[in-house]
Structure 1
Amino acid sequence: MASRKDKMNVFNNIMQAWEENTTTPFYNESSEPQLDYGFLRSLLAIPVENGSSVRSGVFANALDLWLAREFEHAGFTDECIWPRMEEPRAMDPSLVHALGAVSSLTPPQTEMLMHAGGAQKDANVMGSVYTKQVDVGMSNWLSGPEMLVSTKTMSASFGKNLPNRFEEAYGDVKNLRERYPLAAHGFVFLAHASILDEPSAFEKATHMLRQLSRNGEVYDAVALLIAYWDTSADIEVSDDDAIDKSNSWTDVATVTFPERAVKAIPPDLSCEHFFKTIIDIVLANSPVDAHAEARKRLQDAACRE
């Protein structure tokens, strides 16, 4: 389905190349996630090279796609983690399996059935007060939402914008958690490395993130990512001018994770801690015969210890 232009299509080649070539297990010998930050760099490089601003939403799209692919890498395969690698980005897994079992459908027939089955460009989830578009998640008709992750990106004006972003994040999770108390709720914040040049803003960001995960009453896990990219040409271009300039997720120089940024992130706000916590909650809150591949990969890692 492509009734509206999908901004995520600009990442398709990189995602396909990564899926075909990545061989590193999700877990290391200590059963800790080993995330592919090179893959994230390559995704973030697309909006940088295209001159897109953070306000365009393309940086957020890159982050969302990376999170979804890493959850799949952890073993949540064939469960339609959204955003999916292809259009439509949000689709119930039962519909995907049903369409895959019918080989005689023409493309127009497939598109019609997708639309009739509720496939969407975005994933809108009903909360206790209002319906919310959720950036990354996993759900099906039998279980309902099992994982709901919100993301925010920011490149400047931290002192002015941080309170607003975190106020939104707090309201969103309260709205969703009241309706889905057993789901794993997560929040990931990507900031430009210039936040480290504003010590008060960085301290405020880490404090607010911890407040969002206090006692598991708000989010179950939160993560902070700090990346550097050149913002001197931060001029937003139209979607039609955006070009996928690479088929590789390696050797990307336009986006980096500076050593001082990596060291500045507290362990409890790391992406490794975030993934481990969210995955543990999803598996703990579901029947033992659910998410078989995710359980197997975690068990295999434990056997290597």
Structure 2
Amino acid sequence: MAVRPSTKAEAWVLFDHIVANAALGGVYGNPWIIGPDEQLHFDPDYETLAQLLGVPLHLKAGTQSGVPALALDVWLSYELRRAGFEVDQVWPRPTNPRILPAAVAALIKSLPAGLRGQVANRIAKNTSIPNVTSSSAAILGKNYLKQVDVIITDWATGPELLVSTKRMDSSYGKNAPHRIEESYGDAKNLRLRHPLAALGFVFGLRSDILQTEPKTADWLFDLLVKLGQEDDAYHATCLVLMEYADDAALPEAQDEPPPAGILEPGPEPEGEGEDVSASILDATVDQIIKRLPKVKILSDRTPTELAPSRFLAAMVMRVLGATPVNMHEEARRRRAAVLSK
């Protein structure tokens, strides 16, 4: 009997297709521009973000599925590749496995063609090979392991970028305090062990909070700004304010899901990753993407301090500023190419 793919596996098929269409042939556009103020700015691809955010709405994927926040992870990793960081440097990767150590990726590329194909195929079909691949990663902070959503790391450098993402589409007054308290603790835990890493926090929020709970919105925006200003918290914080129709809404959020327990070092045990790969014809995927619920990013309602453009620029510059000029050369070249015009 065929096993139905998980919601997350189905989402990955759509996510991958959207990103592949945005970067045809693996070619990523340069996000840096000179703005009307004649200053250098990071220009996010909001069209791709809107499509990615439509996937969990289409799948009616609840918070506990992990898919709503995963849309943000996929977009952030895509933007970091647009900035010039290499495909295998940024997790989650745009293909399976989502987390693959750079040293393993380099080894695979060095193998003879026939063997390279066999190994690459085996790795692609196994989401979680113990101590090799994974669908998620835990990073050791000062006192405990923390699952981090978007990462740039290597054994030679240690973590260079760590971004945590959260998303909230309903029950704002009930769940917002928990999200903020958790974020404060996670920031200090990671910052104290990895002070040179670019540490960021991205919060996806449905825009109806502005009408239904305006005081909660003001409180939340204020704390998000402060999270990015304190010496022992995040280097930058970001708000993605999403507007979509009521008939596309996700299932009503329940109480916060219970903690996963004490995390173990390394990737998750075998069998605990994405359970089944989904297989959908490209033509079908194209049709689904065309019919995805429409999402609008309200950048004009987002506080300047929390703008995605400001956040992405801060994260990229933090990584480049903490490494020598002979590292991340493509990321440096892309930025310099716009400045030299």
TM-score for the superposition, normalised by structure 1: 0.88
**Contact 2:32/2:335 (CA < 8 Å) preserved in 1?**
yes
Aligned to 2:232: 217
1:70 aligns to what SS in structure 2? helix
Counterpart selection for 2:45 from 29, 36, 40: 36
2:23 aligns to what SS in structure 1? helix
Distance 1:226 1:18 in 2: 21
Aligned to 2:82: 73
Q: Deviations over 1:175-229 (max 9, x none)?
A: 1111111000000000001111121011011111022112443000000011122
Aligned to 1:256: 295
Unaligned segments of structure 2, at least 5 residues? 253-274
Q: CA-atom RMSD, angstroms?
A: 2.8
Matched, 1:154 2:168: yes
Counterpart selection for 2:115 from 101, 105, 112: 105
**Structure 1 counterpart of 2:32, one-letter code:** Y
The alignment covers a number of residue pairs equal to 297
1:115 aligns to what SS in structure 2? coil
**Contact 1:227/1:257 (CA < 8 Å) preserved in 2?**
yes
1:282 aligns to what SS in structure 2? helix
Q: Deviations over 1:19-68 (max 9, x none)?
A: 20776421112421111111011111111112222342111111100000
Counterpart selection for 2:145 from 125, 131, 151: 131
Q: Percent identity?
A: 32
Distance 1:269 1:45 in 2: 22
**Structure 2 counterpart of 1:16, one-letter code:** A
Matched, 1:278 2:315: yes
Matched, 1:144 2:158: yes
Aligned to 1:298: 335
Matched, 1:17 2:21: yes
Distance 1:302 1:173 in 2: 33
Unaligned segments of structure 1, at least 5 residues? none
Q: Tell me whether 178-187 or 77-86 shows the greater mean CA deviation.
A: 77-86
Q: Which runs of structure 2 are paired with 1:45-64 in the superposition (5 Å)?
A: 45-64=54-73
**Contact 1:10/1:243 (CA < 8 Å) preserved in 2?**
no
Matched, 1:87 2:96: yes
**Structure 1 counterpart of 2:161, one-letter code:** M
Counterpart selection for 1:208 from 216, 219, 223: 223
Distance 2:199 2:137 in 1: 15
**Contact 2:92/2:150 (CA < 8 Å) preserved in 1?**
yes
Instruction: Say if 1:277 and 1:133 are closer, same or farther in 2 by CA, change over 3 A.
Output: same
In the TM superposition, residue 117 of structure 1 has moved relative to its aligned partner by: 5.9
1:247 aligns to what SS in structure 2? helix
Q: Tell me whether 9-18 or 136-145 shows the greater mean CA deviation.
A: 9-18
In the TM superposition, residue 107 of structure 1 has moved relative to its aligned partner by: 5.6
Distance 1:130 1:279 in 2: 26
In the TM superposition, residue 121 of structure 1 has moved relative to its aligned partner by: 1.5
2:208 aligns to what SS in structure 1? helix
Matched, 1:226 2:235: no
Q: Deviations over 1:136-177 (max 9, x none)?
A: 010001000000000000001111111100111111111111
Aligned to 2:195: 181
Q: Tell me whether 75-84 or 38-47 shows the greater mean CA deviation.
A: 75-84
**Contact 2:176/2:220 (CA < 8 Å) preserved in 1?**
yes
